[in-house]
């Protein structure tokens, strides 16, 4: 086992969060800016690019396919010389996407019709995550993809004798921005009009960015929950500069931390508040959190704001199911808020959490029980009764969001919380420890 795989966080009890900080750039937008920028015509600059391992996996994949990419520099500036829709070249070896499910699922769509064979691989965690949800619809479009018997990576994508895909009209069986994006990106190369209907709102960064790159698409709101997104294949992307806002998923840990720790007053700068991502704000406010937005503006088609958080007495709630897709990555942090709230919090409709980087439902329930919280997992969620967080050793299972959530739990703990297997925090938040220490969290790294 390498040194990197044995990183442990030791979070000491007490403290509060104060000051003004800026968390790293949005991971979802960083991924997509590399993908669409590489396939665009012209030269573009990305500012605020997230220099985490996941988004760097996407960047390195396109470098391996012949795209000239400079950066990122220390400020997260990246310059891409686009090669156009058909300018990618076959890589010399399989593309290793590390721990990044976004990279693998979106690239499955983009690379399904490039005219060359390619293999997508990943680490042990990524290789255990379900891929049939993307390979099935892309195969319906005419792609030739071979996975393992259980439908997981490595994915072997074969060049099709017919160099174009056929458009489909696809209804998602469950709300998933990654599956929606995979099909839309494949639709760029399809004959005809590809449509995706989603059963509930999911993050819409792909749609916004496609339009920013000059690619027309149509969005039809069928009702409050259902939407259909359609585009015609055969168009082109025109390079445009992108300013990546701070990631609300990374901000979520600090929003929870400042809410639960007494005497906290924290400001998070330039955070993306895309309405398909603000479930964390809506849920915490329903729990009684003191959260305010200021300096609201739109940058590159994405709404951003400064988020202010002060200490609050949280109460347990039944989390509305319509908020679940809008906060799917934030539930480990929300579970910590629930553990510190008065009363019971019930989460339902979140079965997707069982197939993330870890089974996040089980990981959070196991960890909270170790720390003395009365909680249980259900098939599609959790039931958490608020109480006093104790001391103990928990296993993050190599999941970055589990690790950072339990680090914040120490703000209300009675003793040290030791968190094992934290190396993958670098996938989304490479400076988490330093930034957390700077605003008052008592956490150190042990190897």
Residues annotated as part of the active site = 329
Do 99 and 126 touch, CB atoms closer than 8 A? yes
For residue 192, is it left (φ>0), alpha (ψ between -120 and 50) or beta?
Answer: left
Q: Which two tokens stand for residue 42?
A: 């012209």
Q: Which strands make up the sheet holding 218-221, listed edge to edge?
A: 169-171, 193-198, 227-232, 218-221
Element (H, E) at 381: strand 381-385
Residues in the chain: 447
Cα–Cα distance for residue pair 201/208, rounded to 1 Å: 14
Cα–Cα distance for residue pair 113/129, rounded to 1 Å: 23
The residue with tokens 């990943």 is: 122
Q: How far apart are the first and last CA of the chain?
A: 12
Name the burial class of residue 3, with classes exposed (0-12), middle (13-18) and buried (19+) by CB atoms within 10 angstroms of its CB. Answer: exposed
DSSP label of 356: S
CA 154 to chain centre: 21
Cα–Cα distance for residue pair 189/157, rounded to 1 Å: 15
Phi, psi of 426 (to 5 degrees): -65, -15
Name the burial class of residue 379, with classes exposed (0-12), middle (13-18) and buried (19+) by CB atoms within 10 angstroms of its CB. Answer: exposed
Cα–Cα distance for residue pair 29/17, rounded to 1 Å: 27
Q: Which two tokens stand for residue 436?
A: 């957390």
Cα–Cα distance for residue pair 260/179, rounded to 1 Å: 35
Burial 71-103 (b: 16+ CB within 10 A, else e): bbeeebebbbbbbebebbeebeebbbbbbbbbb
């Amino acid at each position: 086992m390498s040194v990197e795989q044995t990183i442990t966080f030791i979070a000491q009890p007490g403290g509060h969060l104060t000051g003004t900080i800026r968390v790293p750039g949005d991971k979802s937008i960083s991924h997509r800016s590399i993908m669409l920028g590489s396939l665009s015509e012209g030269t573009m600059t990305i500012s605020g690019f997230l220099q985490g391992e996941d988004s760097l996996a996407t960047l390195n994949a396109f470098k391996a396919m012949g795209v000239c990419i400079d950066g990122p520099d220390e400020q997260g500036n990246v310059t891409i010389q686009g090669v156009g829709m058909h300018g990618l070249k076959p890589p010399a070896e399989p593309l290793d996407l590390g721990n990044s499910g976004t990279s693998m699922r979106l690239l499955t769509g983009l690379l399904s019709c490039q005219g060359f064979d390619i293999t997508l691989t990943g680490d042990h965690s990524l290789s255990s995550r379900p891929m049939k949800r993307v390979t099935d619809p892309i195969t319906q479009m005419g792609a030739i993809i071979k996975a393992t018997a259980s439908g997981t990576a490595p994915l072997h994508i074969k060049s099709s004798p017919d160099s174009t895909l056929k458009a489909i009209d696809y209804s998602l069986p469950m709300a998933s921005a990654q599956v929606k994006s995979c099909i839309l990106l494949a639709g760029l190369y399809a004959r005809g009009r590809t449509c995706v209907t989603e059963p509930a709102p999911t993050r819409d960064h792909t749609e916004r960015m496609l339009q920013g790159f000059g690619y027309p698409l149509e969005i039809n709101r069928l009702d409050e929950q259902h939407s259909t997104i359609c585009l015609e294949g055969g168009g082109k992307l025109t390079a445009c500069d992108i300013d990546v806002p701070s990631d609300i998923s990374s901000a979520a840990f600090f929003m929870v931390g400042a809410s639960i720790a007494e005497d906290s007053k924290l400001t998070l700068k330039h955070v993306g508040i895309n309405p398909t991502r603000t479930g964390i704000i809506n849920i915490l406010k329903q729990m009684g959190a003191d959260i305010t937005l200021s300096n609201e503006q739109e940058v590159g088609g994405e709404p951003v704001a400064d988020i202010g958080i002060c200490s609050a007495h949280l109460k347990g709630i039944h989390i509305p199911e319509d908020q679940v897709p809008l906060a799917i990555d934030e539930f480990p942090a929300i579970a910590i808020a629930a553990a510190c709230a008065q009363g019971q919090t019930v989460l339902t409709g979140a079965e997707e959490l069982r197939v993330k980087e870890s089974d996040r439902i089980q990981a959070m329930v196991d960890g909270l029980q170790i720390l003395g919280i009365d909680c249980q997992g259900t098939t599609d969620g959790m039931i958490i009764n608020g109480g006093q967080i104790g001391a103990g050793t928990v296993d993050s299972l190599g999941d970055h969001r589990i690790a950072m959530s339990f680090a914040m739990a120490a703000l209300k703990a009675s003793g040290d919380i030791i968190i094992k297997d934290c190396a993958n925090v670098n996938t989304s938040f490479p400076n988490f420890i330093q930034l957390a220490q700077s605003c008052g969290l008592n956490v150190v790294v042990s190897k």
